[in-house]
């Protein structure tokens, strides 16, 4: 009995096209010219990030960031433009941000923001689209030097440049594709649902240890090129380790152990110290 109908042929054709498109999206790509240079080597951005529209993720981040700042302002916990720590953070960011486009050309069009939120949390973040915030606790409790602040800021900016949040959403979208294949054939609706669902949770998305280690290295290079001593990464994580003895800071919740990241920093110092020395001479 012939069970091949026009519908089944059309469905098979659509499935084949989807499979080909997914393979193309997830296939390795050539290294950008900007990456073929001195410094650390972490490869290209994950192909999974290409499954989710960057504009959608950045728009969701902008909305959530604005809500967070509004909530802080209502509690009188948002640092003003004349606050010494706000000026300090923005000055450091002003040296790092111009270097961002070498890692992600989209950063050229981002509307960068840097703000300070009054809280005892030992935390900082950079959301997609360049939305940076530091909590006062990380500056005050750890008594960070400018070099150490630059290491923290570089790390968080690296998450945005490497599109780790978008990658996480893309992986969730692929899981959805496997779970609801027919709906995917009819329009990849799960991707839009993923952005909608996770866009409101950008601050709570957990990155993998690989993502965190990658952000350490990219952040260290950004700081070094901006003229901040990358060896400050060692003292930063020593301070983080001391702070985590009583209770792990939120900022360390999903990160590799302090000892392992210090070892990685030390191993990569020879790659970034020349960048730092060059920046200091210029």
Active site amino acids: 156
Give dist(CA 229, CA 171) in Å, integer.
Answer: 35
Token readout for 104 is 């992600």
Token readout for 217 is 């290295």
Give dist(CA 168, CA 170) in Å, integer.
Answer: 5
Q: Are 57 and 45 in contact (CB under 8 A)?
A: no
For 205, list phi and psi in degrees, rounded to 5. Answer: -60, 130
Question: In the sheet where 113-117 sits, what is the strand order?
Answer: 113-117, 131-135, 124-127
Give dist(CA 132, CA 160) in Å, integer.
Answer: 10
What does the longest C-alpha to C-alpha distance in the chain come to? 80
Alpha helices in the chain (DSSP H): 6-26, 54-74, 84-96, 136-142, 146-161, 164-179, 181-185, 189-199, 209-225, 232-243, 258-281
Q: Is the dihedral of CA 197, 163, 21, 2 positive or negative?
A: negative
Token readout for 39 is 């410094």
Tokens 């949040």 identify what position? 165
DSSP 75: T
């Amino acid at each position: 009995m012939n069970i091949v109908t026009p519908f089944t042929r059309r469905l098979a054709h659509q499935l084949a096209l989807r499979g080909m498109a997914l393979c193309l999206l997830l296939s390795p790509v050539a290294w950008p010219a900007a990456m073929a240079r001195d410094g650390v080597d972490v490869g290209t951005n994950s192909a999974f990030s290409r499954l989710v529209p960057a504009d959608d993720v950045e728009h969701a981040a902008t909305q959530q960031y604005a809500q967070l700042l509004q909530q802080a302002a209502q509690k009188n916990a948002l640092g003003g433009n004349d606050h010494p720590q706000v000026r300090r953070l923005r000055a450091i960011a002003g040296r790092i941000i111009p270097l961002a486009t070498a890692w992600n050309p989209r950063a050229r069009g981002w509307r960068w923001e840097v703000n300070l939120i009054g809280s005892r949390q030992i935390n900082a973040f950079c959301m997609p689209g360049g939305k940076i915030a530091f909590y006062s606790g990380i500056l005050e409790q750890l008594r960070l030097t400018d070099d150490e602040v630059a290491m923290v800021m570089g790390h968080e900016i690296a998450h945005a440049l490497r599109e780790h949040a978008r990658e996480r959403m893309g992986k969730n979208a692929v899981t959805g594709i496997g779970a609801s294949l027919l709906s995917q054939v009819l329009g990849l609706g799960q991707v839009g649902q993923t952005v909608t669902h996770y866009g409101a949770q950008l601050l709570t998305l957990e990155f993998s240890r690989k993502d965190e280690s990658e952000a350490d290295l990219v952040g260290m290079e950004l700081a070094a090129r901006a003229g901040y001593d990358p060896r400050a990464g060692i003292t930063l994580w020593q301070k983080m380790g001391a702070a985590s003895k009583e209770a792990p800071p939120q900022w360390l919740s999903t990160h590799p152990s302090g000892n392992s990241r210090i070892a990685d920093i030390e191993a990569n110092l020879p790659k970034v110290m020349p960048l730092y020395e060059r920046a200091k001479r210029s």
